Amino acid sequence: MSIAVIDYGAGNLRSVVRALQRIGAPLEVTSNPNAVIAAPAVVLPGVGATRDTMQSLEQLDLVAAIHEVIARGTPFLGICVGMQVLCDQSEEFGPHPCLGIVGGAVRRLPSHLKVPQIGWNQVCYMPHAARHPLFAGIDDGSDFYFVHSYYCDLTDEHDIAATTTYGLAFPSVLIRRNLAAVQFHPEKSGHYGLQLLTNFIRWAGVA
């Protein structure tokens, strides 16, 4: 069966699809909630604003489908804004609710920094997550490619699998049971980005 890559109009969709195709992942690009629910694994890519993303997911009736697959134990990977919308709420362009799957809020990076953060930065593992299958073959402190102005301020430290420092240390990888999400763009992160996507496919059991 094919991984469902959710199409809600995200600008990086094609890049994510090309990266998954490069590693030989079976996939279906879809905005159909039933196809998402039936998939053995799900990827939610994202760029842009959380408010726009939530509006698109709501208009496509994908909110309930995302909740269902995560609650059921389907392996799920959120990328960039696909990580941020998992939080309770976001302050981007004014406070608004997000999916509420993990506790926390999406907050703007400190104002004294050059924002957005664009470029390579280190991803450093938390001790409790360092041996997670998602990180297989990827050295602690490896560089990944970021493009973002906001970050997830998570309430449960156990959800934080890795951090990155840009003015402050923020969660750059979230892992909770079958749920994984990354603030960076693995599809733009060269060898290690492809390795992380490969690891997700193997972890999901669809390799």
What integer pLDDT is reported at residue 47 of this predicted model? 85
* Residues designated catalytic: 80, 185, 187
Q: Which residues contact 55 (CB under 8 A, 6 or more apart)?
A: none
One-letter amino acid of 88: D
pLDDT, tens only, 63-116: 999 999 999 999 999 999 999 999 999 999 999 999 999 999 999 999 899 999
List the chain domain ranges. 3-204
Q: Which band of pLDDT confidence, cut at 50, 70 and 90, is reported for residue 48?
A: confident
Q: Tell me if the domain spanning 3-204 has CATH number 1.10.1040.10.
A: no
This prediction has a pTM of 0.96
- Calpha distance 189→186 (Å, rounded): 5
